[in-house]
Structure 1
């Protein structure tokens, strides 16, 4: 097992409580005559309030002891900023004073961006990069763009929003007068559902509030006056509630009466351990019996060692090329390690659930066979007693397996951990181009309907900082290459093989059931022939075949029913058809990415990577829908 995995206590890695704040606002020419010291004071007030709310969440978390979902580390407070003159610098200075870390997001390479500064402002700009608060510095290099430098400002604004849970805007509330201006960024933030706090040029605070019944985030919301300097007000409490909903688990997790969908699932995950191997070999035995060239072993290898050694090799190389060993190790710890744990658990519980239902249906048929064997020993009470005892033991085994499966929630664990793994794995793609795959949890003004899976994914991804790197065409090409090789190509290979194998498995199981049916018919026909011979005086034929006909006539239909039960629960045909659909969609995405690779632009690549994630998400949703209705039953 890889040293990294051996050092972990288990698959669950407690995320660090992190709050990401972004800033946008006007440049100095729009702040002429404005009391900037007042704006600084208001920004400081907002940032300290956000810090206070986050730290109170940490205290609430720490009070839970071993049940705490977050790590005991102090919260990581960050500001994503372009450090432009004016609003950005005002909020950045306030953030440093308030103890925030800085994620610098520059619209151009540092030397080019320096052209925006002169004199003392330029000196301050240069000093910023050596400040202890700087956590990362991401420089965009878009090359030649139609709208020149405005494209860079807009791209940096969008990237800043991707790394923000809260936006602080110093804005005059007027319409945009240029590409990438404050108005455009504020509107984008509100449409994304990002918590938005406005500092007017007069120094007033406002919170964008959307009612629960809102249909349009921009049209139906309103700015409400925010007062953070006095006792709690409805609006300040609303801001605190929005932050808590955005960062923390729903309230049920902290209550004494937890619901299974939230607290129980998370607590179960926290108690899991790694499973390099599994003794549930039923599914592998079925595949070995009905599929060509399948190896079989009583001990199932869950692939943990193989995945530790081979998974994400190109991702590691691309991450190192983009942001050095620091960025590579950062992704390894915060993303790959979590994916390895979820993937291992998904494989383990899939073998448990699948092997359990295969065993139940098979043992049900065997129980009937053993019970009917008594007809061969009709004169021996001891033999009949042994047959009955064995039959009862088999039935007890079936019931015990079913009880253990339901009690251990093997199916639900399989579905949950596979959903978690499939949510974490594609998240690496936007991270390679400096972005973040997190989407705001806020519904349109309402309470977010989160599961523990969604919370864990968001909390884990929030801990990943932007890379210290220049994101240029080479970085975009690297993101495309990783998407093609480790995401699309691997998924294409899996789905092509999966479609063929599952179609063949379903077909052969169907043929086996047909054989059982025709064997039943043949057995009945032979019995009628033996009866005809008996009528003609052939007593020996009837004496010999009557018990055998009884055995075959009762057992063969049960065998056919068991095979049908395995097919129905496994639903191999639907899974094969879904894999074929995925092959078609992934091939189209691969063609689009290859066509864009020669001259990638940030917007197109981001859109295509989003389509890849959406396609994989849809596949997961359909897969979960297929298996969520498949219960573990006794098989009779």
Structure 2
């Protein structure tokens, strides 16, 4: 760990690394491990399948005295209260909770088949399938500890099994495991992380072209058009209703309301900024391309100013090139998507962590070395520990209400976004059609002066030939620019996607309302919420990876 910190000290805290044991405190290996953790000065978290009073029924008096002393010594303790005493479903639920808190599962296991629901074999199988490294300690003390882990495979398998997962002696794999778990990403990921760590701007950020487009299309009124980016303070205040209900929950509540809220606000503000810069960049490019043609055609009406117009056109073309190079060099679209992805991961973490679900070892894109967004989100999750206390109906009701607030917020966003994108697409499409109709009308007017008697050749004192040439050249160019904006912005597909997500969220909200209030049900619903919200980010990523900003043409 010291060597790892020395290599990557710029991304780690100066505090001592914290190693935490998360245990269900069952008799046998659980209590032995908990005692060893305390002796070694490690942090301890207790996850109980029942309230302490009901859990005590599974122990004899001496065993419970030993376990309850460890529970008292733990830094944090959470208890599920959904199940009656000795219900095997509770052991299964607590096994999944321990797994969701873990980077490594330590399994003292004889290697035999499962003896019942929620047993060691089942938890190990779930860990292996979820790509959680498993330290297999044999109780016979003959076999050396082994590491069972999909990260040892050349190609990461999909949901590996106990029988098929790679195994190696733990001591030999430890350096590779620590590197995979803790080391920040290298290459472009390291640079992206460094950029995100850099101080946030203290002054307001502005961008003009995209808001002007929405204003011109009638999508937003002048009163609602905003040219500045929301500040970090505004984003933090927006986030607070998700975390404020849990503020009193000790260290967990404090970190949720401070570190997680601050990091979300920073990521969300940056995502808004880069989204606006990306969109304004391509709108600016197509608008300037139309201006360049306008300047070239203006020589028809101002021949003596041809030199000035050519110089102005050259300047406009140079601005297009510079804008394109700047946007590509700054990689606005990737900066936007990465920060939107991070903001959503932190938003969902704020919800799932209230049920103890940190989900630390999910695999991203079939690799054990995640991108910087996942690495940073996992690092944030590790700081949260457990929500202390009993997850009773009052507490679960609070979690459900907060989740419904989030769902309502996202439904409102996606419904509004769908309307806005559809309206903008429709207006731009109609305007483009109108320009082509205008081109046809100018052609017909010009032709009528040729075939009809009494032609004058002038329109309001200006040569009709010049006017027609200007209109029939500029109108199609302007229509093409509008088409380019529509294609680059992908308004129609964005509207459809937002409408579809809003529909899925409404169905999920209905399920929340109909469900009986239970821990397992809430876990499943929040996992579904995560899938829906992250699918939107992945679709944005796929969309804009194929649409980098290029020179219009």
TM-score by length of 2: 0.91
CA distance in 2 between counterparts of 1:292 and 1:223 reads 59
In the TM superposition, 1:585-600 aligns within 5 A as 585-596=504-515, 599-600=516-517
CA shift for structure 1 position 222: 5.9
- What value does the CA root-mean-square deviation take over the aligned residues? 2.5
Task: Pick the aligned partner of 1:137 from 77, 84, 88.
Answer: 77
CA drift of 1:223 comes to: 5.2
Q: 1:165 aligns with which of 98, 103, 128?
A: 103
SS of residue matched to 1:521: helix
Distance across 2 between alignment mates of 1:293 and 1:158: 47
What is the deviation of 1:586?
Answer: 1.2
| 2:279 corresponds to which of 346, 349, 354 | 354
2-side partners of 1:75 and 1:611: how far apart? 33
The 1:325/1:287 distance shift into structure 2, 3 A limit, reads farther
Q: Does 1:396 align with 2:335?
A: no
CA contact (8 A) 1:198 1:207 kept: yes
Counterpart CA distance in 1 for 2:135 and 2:2 is 19
Matched, 1:336 2:261: yes
Once the two structures are superposed, what CA deviation does each residue of 1:568-627 show, in whole Å capped at 9, x if it has no partner?
A: 10010000011121122112111111111xx22222221121111111122221222222
Please give the alpha-carbon distance, in whole angstroms, between the structure 1 residues aligned to 2:201 and 2:297: 43
- Report the CA distance between 1:239 and its aligned residue: 3.2
**What's the CA shift for 1:118?**
4.6
Are 2:397 and 1:453 equivalent residues in the alignment?
A: no
- Rounded to whole Å, the distance in 2 between the matches of 1:526 and 1:275 is 57
Q: Which residue of 1 aligns with 2:240?
A: 312
Is the CA contact (8 Å cut-off) linking 2:89 and 2:117 kept in structure 1? yes
Deviation string for 1:518-561 (max 9, x for gaps)? Answer: 1111112222233446x867465696222222221211111111
Question: What corresponds to 1:220 in structure 2?
Answer: 164
2:404 corresponds to: 484
Alignment check: 8 A CA contact 1:334 1:464 kept = no
Say if 2:410 is the partner of 1:472: no
Distance 1:570 1:494 in 2: 18
Conservation of the 8 A alpha-carbon contact between 1:275 and 1:345: no
SS at 2:543 equivalent: helix
Please state if 1:174 is matched with 2:94: no
2:209 corresponds to? 282
2:538 matched residue in structure 1? 621
Contact 1:276–1:302 (Cα < 8 Å) also in 2: no
1:82-116 Cα distance to aligned partner (Å, 9 max, x none): 22332112111221222210011122222333344
Determine if the alignment matches structure 1 residue 240 to structure 2 residue 175: yes
Aligned to 1:35: none
Q: Against the structure 1 CA distance between its residues 469 and 537, is the aligned structure 2 distance closer, same or farther, given a 3 Å change threshold? A: closer
**2:44 counterpart residue number:** 102
Structure 1: any 5+ residue segments left out of the alignment? Answer: 1-53, 63-67, 227-234
- What is the CA–CA distance in structure 2 between the aligned matches of 1:182 and 1:290, rounded to whole Å? 61
Measured against aligned partners, the alpha-carbon deviations of 1:184-214 in whole angstroms (never above 9, x if no partner) come to 2222222222221222222243314454465
Q: Is the 8 A contact 1:514 1:560 kept in 2?
A: yes
Specify whether residues 59 and 278 from structure 1 end up closer, same or farther in structure 2 by C-alpha distance, changes over 3 A only: closer
1:343-382 equivalences under 5 Å are: 343-378=268-303, 380=304
Moved more, 350-359 or 237-246: 237-246
Aligned with 1:416 (options 338, 343, 346): 338
**Which residue of 2 is the match for residue 5 of structure 1?**
none
- Given the alignment, which residue of 123, 133, 145 partners 1:185? 123
Q: Measure the CA separation in 2 of the matches of 1:237 and 1:177.
A: 31
Is the Cα contact below 8 Å between 1:58 and 1:74 reproduced in 2? no
Q: CA deviation at 1:377?
A: 2.2
Alpha-carbon distance in 2 for matches of 1:635, 1:222: 51
Given that 2:285 and 2:552 are in contact with CA atoms closer than 8 Å, whether structure 1 keeps it comes out as yes
| Secondary structure in structure 1 of the residue aligned to 2:11 | coil
Match of 1:58 in 2: 5
1:530-569 map, 5 Å: 530-532=449-451, 538=456, 544-569=463-488
1:135/1:512 CA distance change after superposition, 3 Å: same
Q: Could you tell me how far 1:57 is from its partner in structure 2?
A: 2.1
Q: What's the offset of the Cα at 1:291?
A: 2.2
Judged with a 3 Å threshold, the aligned counterparts in structure 2 of structure 1 residues 93 and 543 are, in CA distance, closer, same or farther, namely closer
Q: Give the drift of 1:166.
A: 1.3
Unaligned runs of 5+ in 2: none
TM-score w.r.t. the length of structure 1 is 0.80
When residues 558 and 120 of structure 1 are mapped into structure 2, their CA distance, relative to the original with a 3 A threshold, is same
Using the TM superposition, name which of 352-361 and 474-483 deviates more.
474-483
Residue-pair matches, total? 545
Distance 1:117 1:144, change over 3 A: closer
User: Equivalent residue of 2:44, what SS?
Assistant: strand
- For the 8 Å contact 2:417–2:498, the answer to whether it is kept is yes
Structure 1 residue aligned with 2:490: 571
Q: Any conservation in 2 of the 1:275–1:302 contact (CA below 8 Å)?
A: no
1:494 is aligned to 2:413: yes
- CA distance in 1 between partners of 2:203 and 2:502 (Å): 30
Verify the 8 A CA contact 1:77 1:99 in the aligned structure 2: no
SS in 2 for 1:603: helix
TM-superposition CA deviations, 1:426-464 (whole Å, max 9, x none):
1222211222233344998xx525211121112221221
Distance 1:473 1:143, change over 3 A: farther
